[in-house]
Structure 1
Amino acid sequence: MVREVELGENSNLVNEVIGFVKNRLLLRSVNQVVLGNAEISDLATAKKYAWGQVYGEEFFTWADLRSEKMSEVWDVVYGWGEKYTEMDIKLSELLGELSHSVQKQLSPKHRELLDDVVSDLKCCLYSRAVQGKTNNFFEGIFSAYLSGGWPCGWVGSWPKGSLLVYRDDATDTRGLRGDA
């Protein structure tokens, strides 16, 4: 089971992500509304947005967009020096447990999402550890998970637009189905 960590002033925010995974709420609807996000319920379409769609003028994939936003977190982290090393050791020790816990929670139809989900949660952990709740992108990612969804892409021309979230129980209301 994933354990809590002590990282200083943002420990409670990091531990909120850990607690979410611990409580086995991944991809389970908890009747929490995510405002401003587009939602889809078709897994095949969600995977197209996540793994095949490109966004913006630079033709970023969803993985590229997340990596681009994470590079902003790393810029802060690398300025920390020795403080970063201590934090990285503590968080790195959790990643195996986190991955194992996520894997156990995913239903057979969601198993191929494992790497994306673990990567997203890792980014949320690091973002919260160094930036608190100030990184709107990763806070949006975590909010999508809190609502029982999987953030799988972007609607609009990056960076304008909103997060696209797959939810098993979502109603496609924005005409997204088949647009990927």
Structure 2
Amino acid sequence: MVEGKSLVDFLERPIFFDQPYSGSRHNAIVVTDLATDFSCSSAGSEEFEDWQALLDQESRGAYSLPKNTERKILDLISSGLSVDKNYSSAPEQLLNNMEGDIYRLLCCHASGELPALWKKVERVYLENGIPCGWRGAYPEGRIVVYSNSREFPIE
């Protein structure tokens, strides 16, 4: 799982999302509220993709792992996303989604296949955001990112 080292390092943080999203806003729409509306909507619209369905579609068949590898991934998530860590008041629903996202990312890394959308999802987490939607018809459009602050670094 050398490919997923940055993600494993991310899981070792004692505090998550304590800084604003640091990634480029050129290819992302950054929101500080309504993020669960994007993330949890079960129906897309002309403007936004159904986020959870898109994630499922883009990870389908991406990995098939031995049980011992899957167990190691679950152990990493259990310790890395424990309840005693500080999540800087990020919305609970997004944190629930985060667990599934991190699981799929680690599985993709373990299998050696990281689809393009999942590369974007990983980059958002590593840049202190939470991916929560897609505006436009994928692969065109932009990822929607939750940030815990309206104050963004200058690009």
Query: What is the TM-score with the length of structure 2 in the denominator?
Result: 0.78
For structure 2, the residue ranges without an aligned partner over 5 or more in a row are: none
Counterparts of 1:121-160 in structure 2, within 5 Å, are 121-131=102-112, 134-160=114-140
Larger radius of gyration: 1
Report the Cα offset of residue 56 of structure 1: 6.8
- The alignment status of 1:66 with 2:55, answered yes or no, reads yes
User: Which residue among 72, 78, 92 is the counterpart of 1:90?
Assistant: 72
Q: Is the contact made by 2:16 and 2:87 (CA closer than 8 Å) also made in structure 1?
A: yes
For structure 1, the residue ranges without an aligned partner over 5 or more in a row are: 1-10, 79-83, 173-180
- The alignment status of 1:163 with 2:143, answered yes or no, reads yes
Q: Is the contact made by 1:41 and 1:171 (CA closer than 8 Å) also made in structure 2?
A: no
Q: Percent identity?
A: 19
Question: Over aligned residue pairs, what C-alpha RMSD do you find?
Answer: 2.9
Query: What is the TM-score with the length of structure 1 in the denominator?
Result: 0.69
Report the Cα offset of residue 159 of structure 1: 3.4
Report the Cα offset of residue 111 of structure 1: 3.1
Opposite residue 91 of structure 2, the aligned amino acid is H
Match of 2:8, SS state, is: helix
Tell me the distance in 2 between the aligned counterparts of 1:36 and 1:136.
17
Counterparts of 1:3-82 in structure 2, within 5 Å, are 11-24=1-14, 26-29=16-19, 32-34=22-24, 36-43=26-33, 45-52=34-41, 54-55=43-44, 61-74=50-63, 77=64
Report the Cα offset of residue 116 of structure 1: 0.6
Instruction: Show structure 1 runs of 4+ deviating over 4 A.
Output: none
Report the Cα offset of residue 154 of structure 1: 0.2
Q: Which has the higher helix share?
A: 1
| Corresponding residue for residue 100 of structure 2 | 119
Report the Cα offset of residue 129 of structure 1: 1.3
Aligned residues: 151
